[in-house]
Structure formats: structure tokens, C-alpha cells
Amino acid sequence: MQLPLAHVCQAANADQWKSRSIYQVMVDRFARTDLSTTADCTVWEFCNGTWAGLIDKLDYIQGMGFTAVQISPVIQNLEGDTAVGTAYHGYWSVNDYAVNEHFGTTSDLKRLSDALHKRGMYLMVDVVVNNMAAAFNNTQPPPVNYSAFNPFNDAKYFHKYCNVTEWENPVNYQDCWLYPYGVALADLDTESPTVVQMMGSWIKELVANYSIDGLRIDAAKHVNDAFLPAFVRAAGVFGLGEVLTGVTNDLCRYQTLGLLEGMPNYLEYFPLTAAFNGKSMADLNSARVNASSGCNDTLALGTFVENHDLPRFAASVSDLTLAKNAMTYVILNDGIPTVYQGQEQHFSGNGTPFNREALWKSGYDTSAPLYNLTATLNKLRNTAVALSDSYVTTVSDTLFTDVNHLCLRKGPGGSQIVFCINNQSSKGPQYQLSIGGFGPGDSVVEVLSCTTVTADAVGNITAYMDKGEPKVFFLASALNSTGLCPTTAPATATGTGQKNAAVTGTAYMWSSTVCLAAMLSWGLWFFA
């Protein structure tokens, strides 16, 4: 389904982004210009992915139903090798006014923007605002040649050197330098009106030059509060600012104080991951409720279970059925679905840089189970969005939750999606689960199995659970002409498990190192 084209003269706002689903691309690892599927890739070196290669593989992304692409930073980076590898990722800025020639030319980047817009898709670009980068030999303070930076070519534009050591102290983690090892991340003085003006001029020009529809703002937590709304206003587009915290008040304050409209939803990332590692689905639901109470607008948060800074889901959970459940939550939950390249191929890299595998090694397999699941879920969500403008502005209702299950209803009557995820793995038992969400006598299709059920006198339907598979329900009448489930069959009874009750099943055991591994991975590689 093709959604309306965005133009720079009519910038995409938060409400428009809520209807989108984002596929996150690390350009160096997505597609090469020669479209090789066998080229070697050493994870801390350049592997020669390009914007031209990305253009040639947009069918792969759009085939999953995504309506926006987020790409890694586009500007010129530090050259050469360092103690922590090369700048293949794009986060070590040296010249904000030049593009990264490893990825292509200005013409290539414009062609990418044009190609996305012709498909009705949005372009989101990752930007670095906290620092510029210089290689150094690990002597402190770092001997930085500020004249090599553009436009911040003088020490007066930077905070004086100190190392971030107090992660609960905003003055320390906003004014000091992050992780000085191998690369010095010179911390910009974003309190300076001159720096704010220079940043504003740069981002306004970048957005205009490449018709950018939205920004991911890297390390937004590490700049002072007042900088963020000024920067987003200058950009004139929606900004999704990275604030890595699982504490409700710490993240939600960015909305309640008017600093950012959207952020990646770390409040749900941690309990979502935990729920598939032996913890309770009820804890995930509690996190949803707390986020909704604490934030102004959870619908503008980006829902995810993988990104380039964190261990892959499959690094700790190899079971494919659990990965299906996680993907179902990401696509159908409140907020903006965000899927990191390779998640659809069940990649399993455990932390940076090993979670940045070359996607071409998968052969861009469009028969992969998670690829096809994602395509179905996105198509269903896009259908619901097209049926009702209020689908994306309607907060999900919890229908049922316990240690093993979370069942939600998203959307108003007529376009609602009811879905149940569970954490019992592919070894899960057969049983029946009664859930609401529909009207009396409604004919409903479970779209992942293309089976039908009829709602009872109070609008409840029966979900026939088996082998831990997620269940997704939609009105049969609303599926017409979508291409989803062109043929159906009545659902058949399986098992004799209790309805509306906790069901005991096999849950993967939680490892207390999962959260720690995520934080260490994110930290040790310098926000790269």
C-alpha cells in the first residue's frame, strides 16, 4: 500500500510519522553498489555498502510493507583506522557540510531521497549533534586539532575536557566527553548561542538539500535540554531523539517539558526483551501503562526490539517463534514501529560491532519466516491506518495479560486489530484463550493462519493457541481487496486448556547479563 508523498515544502510532522513504519538501515552494511551477496565484511572495517546499493534494494524493504527508511549519518567522518576500528557507521563527524564519500555522492543521496518519495515513503536521517571526532593515542586530555572540523573549527565551540563518569548527573553527562579511547569525541558547547545558531543553519540546509522528512537525533540525552527544541524547530521536521533510559520519568520528561516530540521507546524495550527471557508479560503491560501515564504521547515513541547499539534479540533468544511474537508486538503496538535491518533475517550478533552484520550475506531472502511475517503485519497495519484516521491516535486497550500472555486491541471499531503475543516458545502447548475486542456476531479472521472465528454474544472470540505462535485478528469484512487471506478456513479446536487463565508453558530463562550487555555494548563503542 502506497501512502501519500511528503515534500520538503510540507514537512512531515509527528502525526504523519505515527502512521509510518520505519526500517532502520546502517548504510555500510545494507547493500553494495555491485549488489554482491558474497563479499566479505570485517565488522570493524568499511564493508562498502552505499546509497546506490540501497536504492537498488528498496524493493526488498517495501516488500515488507515499510513506509519509511531511517539511514545512518550521511556526513563526512574521521578517516583511517583507530583502536576501535573505522568510521563505517557514520557517527564520527568531522565535516558537517560534506557527505560521506564512502557511501556515495551528493547526487546519490538526492537520488535515494527521490526514489523513496516516488514510492510514497519517508526518509529519516540520523544526525550527530553532541560531538565531533578525532583520533588520538589515549593520552589525556586528548590532543585535538580543532581546525580540522567544519564548521566548529575552534576550541571555543567545545566544552573543556572532562570524562563522563557520573551517569546520573546531567551536568556531567551533558558537558563532559564520552568514552575517550581510540577516538576523542569532542563535546560541543550546545549551551552557546553561537553553536545553537550554527547547528540550526546546518540542519536547515541539510533537510532542504535532501528533502529529509524526519531526523533521528543521536545521543540526545547528552546535550543540554534547551538545545533540542531549538534544533528541531530549525530542522522543520519530526525529530526522534535518542534518550537511552528505562526510567519512566527520565524519558518522559523530554515530552512533558517540550524538549522532543518523539524518542525510541526504551521504556518498553527492556521489559519486552525480559518477557521473552523468563520474565512476565504482565511486567511489559505495566511498563506500557506507566509510559502512557508519564509521557504526553506514547504514540510518537518508536517501538523496537533491536537497533545498532544493542545485542540482537536472537543473541539471547534463538527460538524463532519467540522472535515472531516480538516482531508482532513491534509492528502492532502503539507508536511508530521500527525494525533494524537483519531482524527480519533472524540475525544474532551479540553486541556492537557484531550486531552490524552485512545484510547481503542473507541473500536478501524474501522467503524468510520473519520477512513474510513482517510483510503481513505491516500490510494489516497499513490497511487499518487507511480505514480510519484515528487508528494511530487510539491508545491500545489491554484485553488480557498474565505471566505468559499480552492481548491488546488497537484502533477504533471497524478498523481494530486484536492481537495476542506469548512467551512460551515453539514448545508451547495447545489450548484455547477467550478474548474480547469485537462486536456480537462479528466474523473475524486470524490473519497469520487465515482461519475464521465468530464473536459470541458479548463480542468475545476464541484464540486457538498452539506452539507459542502469536495470534492477530481483524474483521473479515475489512480484509476485502487487501490480498491478505484470499481463502480462509474455520479455526479448529486444539487442546483443552483453560480460557481466560494463565497457561503454564516453557519460558526461556532470563539472564541478568542481558541488560548489562546492552549497556556495555552501547558504551564501549562510543555512540558509534
CA–CA separation, 222 vs 369, rounded Å? 38
CA–CA separation, 501 vs 481, rounded Å? 36
CB 424 within 8 A of CB 505: yes
- Choosing from 28, 175, 218, 446, the catalytic residue is 218
- Concatenating the DSSP letter of every residue in 169-233 gives -HHHHHHSBS--BSEEEEEB-TTSHHHHHHHHHHHHHHHHHHT--EEEEETGGGS-TTHHHHHHH
Would you say the C-alpha torsion 272, 277, 283, 285 has a positive or negative sign? Answer: positive
- Concatenating the DSSP letter of every residue in 2-17 gives PPPPPBTTB---HHHH
| Residue 132 β-bridge partners | 186
- 3-state DSSP of 32-53: ECCCCCCCCCCCCCCCCECHHH
Do strands 471-475 and 417-422 pair parallel, antiparallel, or not at all (unpaired)?
Answer: antiparallel
CB 175 within 8 A of CB 128: no
Q: How far is CA 185 from the centre of its chain?
A: 25
Would you say the C-alpha torsion 15, 18, 20, 23 has a positive or negative sign? Answer: positive
CA–CA separation, 21 vs 337, rounded Å? 5
- Concatenating the DSSP letter of every residue in 361-387 gives GGT--TTSHHHHHHHHHHHHHHHHHHH
- Residue that the C-alpha cell 563526512 belongs to: 76
First to last CA, the chain: 34
**Nearest-CA neighbor of 276 among 288, 284, 287?**
284
Q: Show the DSSP H helices in 77-158 as ranges.
A: 106-118
Respond yes or no: is residue 175 known to be catalytic: no
CB 270 within 8 A of CB 289: no
Do strands 183-187 and 131-135 pair parallel, antiparallel, or not at all (unpaired)?
Answer: antiparallel
Confirm whether residue 312 is marked as ligand binding.
no
CB-based contacts of 137: which residues, under 8 Å, 6+ apart?
A: none
Confirm whether residue 288 is marked as ligand binding.
no
Do strands 451-454 and 443-446 pair parallel, antiparallel, or not at all (unpaired)?
Answer: antiparallel
- Choosing from 242, 297, 446, 469, the catalytic residue is 242
- Residue 46: phi and psi, rounded to 5, are -65, 135
Confirm whether residue 216 is marked as ligand binding.
yes
Which cell numbers in the block locate residue 50? 552505499
Respond yes or no: is residue 218 known to be catalytic: yes
CA–CA separation, 49 vs 27, rounded Å? 6
Q: Which residues are catalytic?
A: 218, 242
Which residues are annotated binding-site positions for substrate?
Answer: 92, 216, 246, 309, 356
